[in-house]
Structure formats: structure tokens, C-alpha cells
Structure 1
Amino acid sequence: MRNILAEYYRTPFNPRVLYPSGGFQNEAGFFRFGPDIVCYGECAKGIANEVMNSEALHVSEAFSATGAELRLPFDIGDVIENLRRERYLEKLDSGPKPLTRRTWTREFYYLVRRFLPVAVRRHLQRVYLKDWKTLQFPHWPVDSTVDSLNEAFLRLAMIAQGCDRVPFIWFWPDGAFSALILTHDVETAAGRDFCSSLMNIDLSHGFRSSFQVIPEERYEVPNSYVDEIKTRGFEFNIHDLNHDGRLFEGKAKFLCSARRINEYAKKYNARGFRSGAMYHNLDWYDAFFVGRILEIPLTTSQDYSVFHILNEYTINLWKRQISLVHQKNGLLSFITHPDYLINLRCRDVYETLLDHLRQVVERDAIWATLPGEVDRWWRARNEMRLVQDGDRWRIEGPDSQRARVAYASLDGDRIVYTIEKPLLTP
């Protein structure tokens, strides 16, 4: 049986979980683990086909504990996997769809997109996304359901076992409270030609970033361009194959494209990959060369959405998202495009964002790094383990000298964290 808490917290604390002997509902659906945590999966206490109807299904009331054993009416590991793989989308889209939400409409849009004036494209995108702020789930502007579910499970397990403090390996190296990455997707030749200037802008604020580059059709990728990105300490990654919106159209097409993407990754010695329009299908990712994929989430709104969909030319939304992600000790990840930052108005907003990020990084002890470093850290942390040494705990494993022991403690109806030797001491 999976040790969910060990996967998330890297802790030796391993409560025994029992599930109903009669199994679960055969169909997956929505229910609540408490009033605010929306779950998706099978549940012995019933499910709702729509998120709004899940409010009456608070299955935390069905939780029970006997000695060191926990009884849950759902498999928490399956629910977390469903959330991470976004398997709930099928249910969210199961009702009648307006014209803009139908698959054939999206395919037709990508077919004619390059021939549409920019103003027409932006209008169609606003129509498509007009109701995104009103969705009950996932939560806007940041969804942290998986984190909240892990915290709620840990709290119940600690209460059941009479434990007021649990050790674990802190999420980020050197006791940093959160992490930050800046990434740039390069979509046109004009954007490619602006990358040198964008690197200067990032460096002037004390940051380095990654550039995701489209290897086919959109523009040439000269060796001098690749070399400049790498020699200046930035990161070169692959962005889709040709960014036509059809990478995940079918398994056979995807496998063929994945082979070519892998060839480009080898050619450019690149480990990072991002698909066009953020489409993904984790069940197919084994086709990529890296083997065991680490998916780094996007936790803030893209510049295109902020500027051209929401029509906002401030950093107010980004500041709100930064605060929410930092409260969960999460990863602040940004996507901006050199293609749009050529515009002076957009560039001024971006530089305002960098000014704010520099202040937040220094004030709140945030690890500002590159996606490749996040990948290396998370793989190393996954191989670390806590070992009891007398009345203390120590960490063993790769890169353990950068890791920190932390403790999760009960504080009323919530969990609070403390770190040994944090990067910043209050």
C-alpha cells in the first residue's frame, strides 16, 4: 500500500489506513473532505456527478480511528492521483457544451489560427474563457487542493495516533520557504530575436530564466542563439514540436512527434519540455526521453492571459497569486513570452513584476532558480530519508547537506510547519 505521507512529506510517519470491506462506488465523482476540499474519485459514501452537488457529501464525517488505524471511505492515493492527472475534466465537461467548448471547434480554431487577425483571435479566446473565474473547481486564482488534502490527512492521522509533532524533510533546499522559476516561451522569430534583450532585463533584476524554443517550422534555431542562452547561464528547453495545438490529438501521432522531440532534446542537450498551449496527457509521457517525468506546474497566470484576455496591465493578479502560493510554501512559476514583451507597455509591467519578485525573494527567503535545478532537487529529495539519531533526526541521501529537517505540528484545526536552520530566521 502506498505511503501517501511519505511521498509528499518524506516522513517515516506511516499510519495504517483501512478502507471499506465492500469497496467503493464503481463510478468516480465529486465529494468533499471537509467543506472546502473538493475530491474526485470513488467513494463508499456516495458521489456527485457535478461539483456543485458535492457540497452535501462531506465524507470527513465518515472518518474514524481505532487505535493506530484510520478508516476512510475513499482511497486517498487514488484521489490525489486523479487530481494531479486532472481526470475530473471528463466530468466537468460531461454536460451539454456551448459551441466554443466543443473539440471540433478547438481543432478548427488551430487550423485557421495563423490566418486570423490578432484582434479576432483575442476576441475568440475571451469568449472561450469568459467563465473561468466563476468555476467552483479548480479554485481561482490558485488551486492547492492536493496540498490541502495532504495536510488534512496528516492532521487526522496525528490526532488518531495521539501525535502532536511529526518530522519530515522540508520541501526546499537550504531552508528556503518557497521557490521561484521564470520561464519564457518563444513563439515567433521576432520573439527569438528579442531574447538577448530579455536576458539583459532578467539579469538586471538579479534573475536567470529558461527559454522554451519551438524546434520546427516557426523559425530557425541557429547554434549561436542556443549558445548565447547557455553561455549566459540561462536554460534552453524544448517547446512542443511545431506548436500547432495537435500534439496530443492521438496516441500514434503523439508517439511519432515524441520521437522527433527526443531527437531535438538530444541535439540541444535539453532536459526540459513544455507542450504548446500547456496541453498534456501524463499517461503518455513515458514516450519522452527523460523516462520518469517530473511535471513542474504552472502556478501563476501567463502574461498573454493577463494582458490580452483579462485586459489588465498591472501586477495585481500576480501579487495575489504570489501570496497564495507562498502561503503553501509552494513553487512560484511564471510563463512570459518575449513575443509580447517587445511591446513597451507589456514590458513595463513585466519589469514591475521583476521588481516585486526581487523584494519578495529577499524578504521571504525564496529560492530563485531554474527549472532544471528544481528537477534535480525534487529527484534528490525523493531519494532522501529521515533517520533517528538519538533524540534528533538526520537526513540521508543525495544532496542531503542542503536538506533541512522540519516538523509538522497541530495548531487547533490546522497544521503548522517549523524548520530547523531556516534560510531566514524571523
Structure 2
Amino acid sequence: MFTSSVPFAFGDYMRVPITVDESMGRNLPKHVGALHASSSPLGPRLLWARSDAGRHAPGTKPGHHKLDGINLVCPVFTGSPEDLGCRRWTGGEGWRPLTPVQNPQGTAVGHVWTNDQGSIFLPFDPGEAMSWLWSERYTMLGDARLRNRLRHLLVTIYYTIRPALPRKVQLLLRRRHAAHHTYPDFPGWPEENALHDLYDWLLGRLERVAGEPVPYVHPWPNGHTSAFVLTHDVETSTGRDSIEALRAPERARGLRSSWNLVPERYPVADELLDGLRSEGCEIGVHGLRHDGKDLASGRMLRKRLPAIREWADRWGAVGFRSPATQRSWELMPLLGFDYDSSYTDSAPHEPTPGGCCTYLPFFIDDLVELPLTLPQDHTLFEILGMTDGSVWQSKVEAVRARGGMVLMIAHPDYVHCPGMLTAWEELLDQLRADPGAWHALPREVAAWWRRRAESTPVLADGAWTVHGPAAGEAVVAWSSPPVGRHGRVMVPDTSVAAHD
């Protein structure tokens, strides 16, 4: 449908049909990417200020911005398309500002531009805007950089002394911090829709350039409109001995879950693992010792990785979640797992605050990241002192509305918290009642996401069908309803079959 001068990361992520033609960019300005509808090479183009391995055009400034009311946190080019030589390349005249990109004070620091030809120029790289949120790089902007370094130091100290602290003292420290800590406005909690708002906005720009609705591969297979994934982190031997308290309600409802265990903190009997597997559950690795050191440095990871891999192979585990959701964008792909599930969409209350701002999986190099999209039970019931699951229930509806993945943690270690078990059972009933949701294990979602990433819509005999490894299960979605079809962004067109 489109031809691009360079890979277009947003289109690749959504699986929009795009062909890269490097010859198209021979005379293109250095810091500009461009695409056009394949059927109209002389028609309107979408151009963007391209980041080349983090290198930008002069006049590009990182920061928190607003675009059409959307939080845009990434480097923004502050000049005009003509400053980059776009006028002579496109042949279009009359570049003029279309939409301002504003700083937190409301001052325009850049613009989306258009010209007489109908081309659009974006003053940012969409792929970089996505990765800045996925990787939480925005937490290193300005004063936040110093705050996060201090927070990292405090977390390191806490994990060093934690074994000597009684459980009541540990909780008291966390609760006092939660009560007196000032939380940033971004990301919002418990919901932050910035990235999904940006996805919709970008699909709208592609549609404007194409002059018709844009097809892409729906995030979920077989006509499902959303997904839900149940996971459990078993932190201690007490949690290990309390697994049945959470598993029994799942079993009664015909649901499966993933159990992340710590191999060198407490004994894990093969009979326990066999019992969970026999019920269709999955086993994952929850760090080596749950001491906050696995990802503390490259040196520490190299030291521990042989033991982590040995336990993963012994348990048949293909997934990892780090203790206290400790994260490292650079180190996590080195773990050697099919997927990780340590990032959270919005996490101001966690030991390492931040948030990847998405309800969908994404890649960190070749590692599939499955973000947590519901607040943790420990956070709600132990730290914030809530006694019901209303936050869970409202967040489930918010994620469903965006066609996302509900992925949550429930710890058997905290089943004693007032209201926790009741809230858990009510949540299971809410999830199970949605006929459009795909109930899957983490490994199944990760495998699907890999198949989806290698598939694309293809126009054949007047109809769009999905070709590639996801054929037969993937369906085509649209940026807006084409004539004669129903739905909206993120709603699959189940009338379109997929083919090999």
C-alpha cells in the first residue's frame, strides 16, 4: 500500500503493508524519511524528521510535549521542513504549520506541517517516540534523571539490608514512602493512553496520505478484540505453600495461569511443577534469588546467567520476570528467554517507577516484552491500603476499550490482605465474562506476537488478506471503517479471511 525510503518503525509495528525502496531516498535530505501511497508516487507524502541511531538534525530538542492533546515525549525538530531541504525534494510549495507541538508551558516548540500538495511533515520520528516510552527513556529527562539515580541508589540499599528487616518494617517503609512521595503527572495512573492515542493519530496521517482507510494486522488472532493473561509471582516459601488459594478459583472457572518461581530462594518440588503443568499452567523464572541483583550490572548478570539458564532449562521455562520488576533495556535481551514481563504500563508506586505506556506487547531487540497492565495486588492492598478491586475492574474496561492486553500479577504471598481474595475472584468473573477476549498464557501471546511481526496484509483479487506465519489466524483491521465494513480502529474485520 505504501512505499518508503527507509523502514518506518510505526508501520512495521502495526503491520501496515509498506515496501522499502532505498532508491527513493537517494536525493532525500539526510535527516528525513518519506513514504507515499504505492499507487500514487507523485501524490502526497508523509515525511518525518528521522533519527539515525539517536543522531538528529540540528535544532532537535528532547522533552515532554503535547500534540493534539497527546503526550509526546521524545526529541522534536523545532525548525521547518524547508530547513531540512524538503521543499526542493517534494516539489510541493507553500509549507505551512498545521498543528503545534507544545511544551508543558503551552508554547509551540515545533509544528506538524503541510503543503499545497497535501504532504505532511512530522517534526519527530514515530519509531523514536514509541521507543522512548517503551524503554522509559523519558525518566532520564531533566530533574527526573537525578531523582531516578537517587531512587536507584535507595532501592539498592533497601535490597541490601532487606534480609535483616522484619516484614512489618519493610511494609512500613514502603507505605510511608507511598504516603509522602510526590508523583509525576506523567505517566498517568492507573491509566496512561499516550501511546495508543499516538497510534490512532499516526494511522490517521497515513490514511490522509493514502486517501483511503489503511489496513494492518489486528493485534489479536481469530477475531478476538482483546486479550487477558493471568500471572503469579511466588516470592517466598509462604507464597509457594499458598498457591492453591489463587489456583482454586481459576480452576473452578476453567482458567489457566503462569507461575513465576524463584529457584534459589526456597525449595521447589518437581511434584508442584508437574501439578501446575497438568492443569495447563505455565512455569516461569522470577529471578535467581529475588534479591534485586540479577540486572544490577552487566558483570552481575554474566555471573548469574549460567544458573538462571540452567533453571530455565530444567523447568522448561521460556519466560522471565525480574524481582520487584527491575528493568534494564540493554541487559534483558541477554537473558535468553522468549519473553520478559517486567515492564508496566504505568508504575509510579513500584520500587523502580516509570511505565512503558502501552497495553500491547513490543520487542526489545529479539525479546518479546509482555507489559503488566493492571496494578499489582501488593501495591493496591499492601501499600495503598485498598480493600476492594474497583481499580482493577475499571482498568480492565479501559484496556479493553483500546483493544489491549489485560496482564496482571497476583501473589499468593499476599492472600491474607483484607479484600484481596474476594477482589481476585470478582476480577476472574469479569475477565471470563467477555466473549471477545482471548484467554492465553504468556508463552502463547509471545509466540503469536512473533508470528504477527512476520506477517502483513496483501491485496489480492480485490481483497486484503494476511500472508505470513500468522495466516489462518490473523485478521485485517482498518484505520477507519471502509465502505461496506463495520468497526473502528483496533476492531478486526472478521469478514476478511487470512491465507497462506
Query: TM-score, normalized by length of structure 1?
Result: 0.87
The alpha-carbon distance between structure 1 residues 133 and 315, as it changes in their structure 2 partners (threshold 3 A), is farther
**CA shift at 1:286, angstroms?**
3.0
- Residue 256 (1) aligns with residue 300 (2): no
Deviations 1:302-324 (A, max 9, x none): 00001011211111101121111
Amino acid at match of 1:354: L
- Residue 207 (1) aligns with residue 236 (2): no
- Residue 114 (1) aligns with residue 114 (2): no
Tell whether the 8 Å contact from 1:206 to 1:358 is kept in structure 2 after alignment.
no
Length, aligned pairs only: 411
**CA shift at 1:203, angstroms?**
1.2
**CA shift at 1:59, angstroms?**
6.2
- Residue 419 (1) aligns with residue 492 (2): yes
**CA shift at 1:235, angstroms?**
0.4
**CA shift at 1:58, angstroms?**
5.2
- Residue 36 (1) aligns with residue 110 (2): no
Distance in structure 1 (CA, Å) of the matches to 2:399 and 2:460: 34
Alignment partner, residue 63 of structure 1: 113
The alpha-carbon distance between structure 1 residues 133 and 106, as it changes in their structure 2 partners (threshold 3 A), is closer
1:72-91 matches, cutoff 5 A: 72-91=122-141
The alpha-carbon distance between structure 1 residues 343 and 316, as it changes in their structure 2 partners (threshold 3 A), is closer
**CA shift at 1:92, angstroms?**
6.0
Distance in structure 1 (CA, Å) of the matches to 2:274 and 2:297: 34
Alignment partner, residue 341 of structure 2: none
Distance in structure 2 (CA, Å) of the matches to 1:395 and 1:334: 30
Alignment partner, residue 202 of structure 2: 153
**CA shift at 1:199, angstroms?**
2.1
Distance in structure 2 (CA, Å) of the matches to 1:422 and 1:121: 55
Amino acid at match of 1:9: M
**CA shift at 1:131, angstroms?**
6.7
**CA shift at 1:260, angstroms?**
2.1
Alignment partner, residue 361 of structure 2: none
The alpha-carbon distance between structure 1 residues 239 and 95, as it changes in their structure 2 partners (threshold 3 A), is closer
Tell whether the 8 Å contact from 1:32 to 1:59 is kept in structure 2 after alignment.
no
Alignment partner, residue 194 of structure 1: 242
Q: Which has the higher contact order (CA 8 A, sep 6+)?
A: 1
Bigger mean CA offset, 252-261 vs 328-337: 252-261
Percent identity of equivalent pairs: 29
1:253-292 matches, cutoff 5 A: 253-290=300-337, 292=366
The alpha-carbon distance between structure 1 residues 133 and 379, as it changes in their structure 2 partners (threshold 3 A), is farther
Distance in structure 2 (CA, Å) of the matches to 1:422 and 1:140: 37
The alpha-carbon distance between structure 1 residues 97 and 80, as it changes in their structure 2 partners (threshold 3 A), is closer
**CA shift at 1:141, angstroms?**
0.9
Higher helix share: 1
Alignment partner, residue 394 of structure 1: 465
Tell whether the 8 Å contact from 1:33 to 1:58 is kept in structure 2 after alignment.
no
**CA shift at 1:43, angstroms?**
3.0
**CA shift at 1:19, angstroms?**
4.0
Alignment partner, residue 99 of structure 2: none
Amino acid at match of 2:171: R
Distance in structure 1 (CA, Å) of the matches to 2:145 and 2:247: 45
Amino acid at match of 1:207: L
Amino acid at match of 2:77: C
Matched position secondary structure for 1:129: helix
Bigger mean CA offset, 188-197 vs 21-30: 21-30
**CA shift at 1:416, angstroms?**
3.5
Please point out which of 124, 128, 146 is paired with 2:173.
Answer: 124
**CA shift at 1:355, angstroms?**
2.0
Distance in structure 1 (CA, Å) of the matches to 2:284 and 2:377: 19
The alpha-carbon distance between structure 1 residues 262 and 67, as it changes in their structure 2 partners (threshold 3 A), is farther
**CA shift at 1:197, angstroms?**
4.2
Distance in structure 1 (CA, Å) of the matches to 2:409 and 2:309: 23
Deviations 1:83-122 (A, max 9, x none): 1111011126547649x95433222211222332333222
